[in-house]
Amino acid sequence: MVNARFSRRQVVLGAAAVPLAWSVLPRAVSAAPSPMREQVELDTGWSFRFGERGDWQRIRLPHSWNARDGQDGGDDYRRGAGWYRRELPLSAESAGRRAFLEFDGANTTTDVWLNGVHSGQHSGGYTRFRFDVTEVLRPGANDLLVRVDNGENPDVAPLSADFTFFGGLYRGVRLQLTDPVHLDLLDHGGPGVYLRQREVRADAATVEVTAKLANDSEQAQHVDVRATIIDDDGRVVAEESAPAVSLAAGGRRQCTFPVHIGSPRLWNGRADPHVHRVQVQLREAETGRPLDAVTEPLGLRTFAVSPSDGFSLNGEPLRLHGVNRHQDRRGKGFAVHDGDHEQDFALMREMGVNALRTAHYPQDPLVYDLADSAGFAVYTEVPWVNEITDSAAFRDNVKQQLRELIRQHYNHPSVLFWGIGNELGFHQTDKDPQINALLAELAELVRTEDLERASAYANVLKRADDDPFTEHAELSGYNRYEGWYEGTADQFGQWADSLHAADPMRKIAVTEYGAGANIDQHGPASLAAPPVPDGQWHPEEYQALLHESFIAQIDERPYLWGTFLWNMFDFASDSRDEGAAPGINDKGLVTHDRAVRKDAFHCYKAHWSDEAVLHITSRRWTHRTEPDTTVRVYSNAESVALTLNGAPLGDGTRDGRVFSWPVRLRPGSNVLTAQAEVHGSVHTDEVTWQLSQQ
């Protein structure tokens, strides 16, 4: 099977664009008629300055002016307006087409001027938006000016959060040129095509195709709409057309029609992440002349959440082994490239992840493509965190951002849960009525926009489990930090069982749990004595012990429909100063630069992955002062042999995928060697520790 992904990138060839649709280009896309769109990438040729004065500097996208000061601590990174400008050329051959400027994401409020004319404003830092610039774009050179402001704005969510609000044009920008009659590009940044799975069975499936049509010409038009569903081996598995549609001059309308598929191959998570492609074509009814086309992903699947049995996919139980992920990276902030996203997915796949929460905002369009092809179940959420402004403008903005989130990612088979908020009311106990009212509106908006998927809400640790905030969404998520912010790690299971017993019909997930770890800090650790969370001592050994405990407790509770550890990667939070890492939240299982997998990473890999795992923990604690210690090894082998300086240490204690031995080191160099047979092959891991002379 070609496990390929659809990309937003295209190569412009004259008046048409040929999609570079997959990492391995399938015959289906290359053989299909080219969409009559011209797409011009605008990543280069920009000049930038921060503020109203100062020199312009040459940059290319993606770009953030906080790439360094947003992750060095002090809570003093630059917030305000940054200006971008470039020349936008238009060929004479492209004149007369509809022109749309498309931004994949800019943080936070963006204003655009073309040739001195204000083209529009968008408020919200994490979703795609477009402006129609047809009337002001002219053949030859055009002046494009963009203002992006990441300053505090009481009417735009989020108002506050435990991550840096990196300012800038940090995702791609492009010019889309279409025929005057086209699939609607102004539908909240969505594709103009929406695929609803009406019925999915082993022997047949029915997909309802909705195409939103726009006629920006001065004459009425009669158009045909046709949907072609293509397998990943290039085979056409279904085709259907809607009855001819009449479009008034300047009119908008939509058409909906079913497409039937016999003996469908299902999207089955990591076991078989099979993605079909649906090409929706728009043609003149009388002549058959192609006008526009859009290709969207389709993964046929059913899923359900039970309050007693957890999550199931295509009728089979599936434990969701999930992580949270922030999109930033050391030295780049939010301005990451496609290769960075791809590396993150490679690390998650290596660890055995099968579920992803895009905390706490919509992420790059490529992230959802990668999740489709990786077979991840995605929980993606609107960026409403912590606080509310009691204003109509704020409420409208959150609803706008949720509607954009749903429209833009509706067709992705990986997306299963819409998050409507995170940790609300923690800082504003006097705003409960307003928060409840808006949560109710958002839950209803999800029901209106999407009848297939469920809404979810993540409750903060300091609020009651039955807080009214948790009553609006269909699914309940809880951010739990036993062993870090309160209590001890072994109390997690008791909390979960108590909640489940008190409210057995509640569908419970754990949306966050974890502990900090600095890979340069090491020492004896005990779950009975957690480090101080906001202190400077975050030894790697404690994080590993906490996650060992949580894995064991989670495995014993099948009623949890999902668990999402916090966090897959260290990330920037410029207000933090802890763990000897100013500006960084160090709860990741991989370092901010993606260079080091912490011990806890290997613990999960031993539990979740099918790959062979043999990992001696505390390997970076190379200089010791106490001779007596415990050696711990993570492995998915049946047994592990350990030697110290060549002498066998006998059978260790096994607890699931954790093996341990008490050892006494000798002064000087000590070589520890672990060996095990996994999947029929012998594997070896070795570390050297130095014991200082007393």
d(C-alpha 293, C-alpha 225), whole Å: 9
For residue 29, being part of any structural domain is answered with no
pLDDT for 28: 26
Domain boundary pick from 560, 583, 610: 610
Exposed e or buried b for every residue in 401-440, given b needs 16+ CB within 10 A?
bbbbbbbbbbbbbbbbbbbbbbbbbbebeebbebbbebbe
- Same domain for 211 and 282: yes
User: Is the pLDDT confidence value at 25 over 90?
Assistant: no
User: Is the pLDDT confidence value at 196 over 60?
Assistant: yes
pLDDT (tens digit per residue) in 450-486: 999 999 999 998 888 889 999 999 999 999 999 999 9
What percentage of the chain exceeds 90 in pLDDT?
91
Tell me what the mean pLDDT of segment 240-258 comes to. 96
For residue 146, being part of any structural domain is answered with yes
pLDDT (tens digit per residue) in 505-536: 999 999 999 999 999 999 999 999 999 999 99
pLDDT (tens digit per residue) in 576-585: 999 999 999 9
Nearest to residue 591, comparing CAs of 532, 658, 529, 521? 521
What percentage of the chain exceeds 70 in pLDDT?
95
For residue 501, being part of any structural domain is answered with yes
For residue 370, being part of any structural domain is answered with yes
Task: Sort strands 584-585 and 628-635 into parallel, antiparallel or unpaired.
Answer: unpaired
Cβ neighbour number for residue 393 with a 10 Å cutoff: 12
- Same domain for 629 and 596: no
For residue 18, being part of any structural domain is answered with no
User: Is the pLDDT confidence value at 24 over 50?
Assistant: no
- Same domain for 380 and 251: no
Domain boundary pick from 610, 640, 668: 610
Residue-averaged pLDDT of the chain: 93
End-to-end CA distance of the chain: 60
How far is CA 126 from each of CA 3, 333, 415, 627, rounded to the nearest angstrom?
A: 27, 14, 16, 52
Domain boundary pick from 119, 151, 179: 179
pLDDT (tens digit per residue) in 200-233: 999 999 999 999 999 999 999 999 999 999 998 8
Can you give the pTM of this predicted structure? 0.93
Number of domains in the chain: 4
Nearest to residue 634, comparing CAs of 618, 651, 650? 618
Q: How confident is the model at residue 64 (pLDDT cuts 50, 70, 90)?
A: very high
- Same domain for 450 and 357: yes
User: Is the pLDDT confidence value at 21 over 80?
Assistant: no
For residue 615, being part of any structural domain is answered with no
pLDDT for 585: 98
Side-chain-facing half-sphere of 37: CA atoms under 13 Å? 25
- Same domain for 369 and 260: no
pLDDT for 216: 96
Whole domain around residue 317: which residue ranges?
304-610
- Same domain for 158 and 240: no
Tell me what the mean pLDDT of segment 161-190 comes to. 97
CATH number at residue 398: 3.20.20.80
pLDDT for 651: 81
DSSP collapsed to 3 states, 229-259 = EECCCCCEEEEEECCCEEECCCCEEEEEEEE
User: Is the pLDDT confidence value at 400 over 50?
Assistant: yes
- Same domain for 372 and 289: no
One of 296, 387, 404, 423 is an active-site residue; which one? 423
Write out the two tokens for 435: 């928060």
Active site residue 423: yes
pLDDT for 429: 81
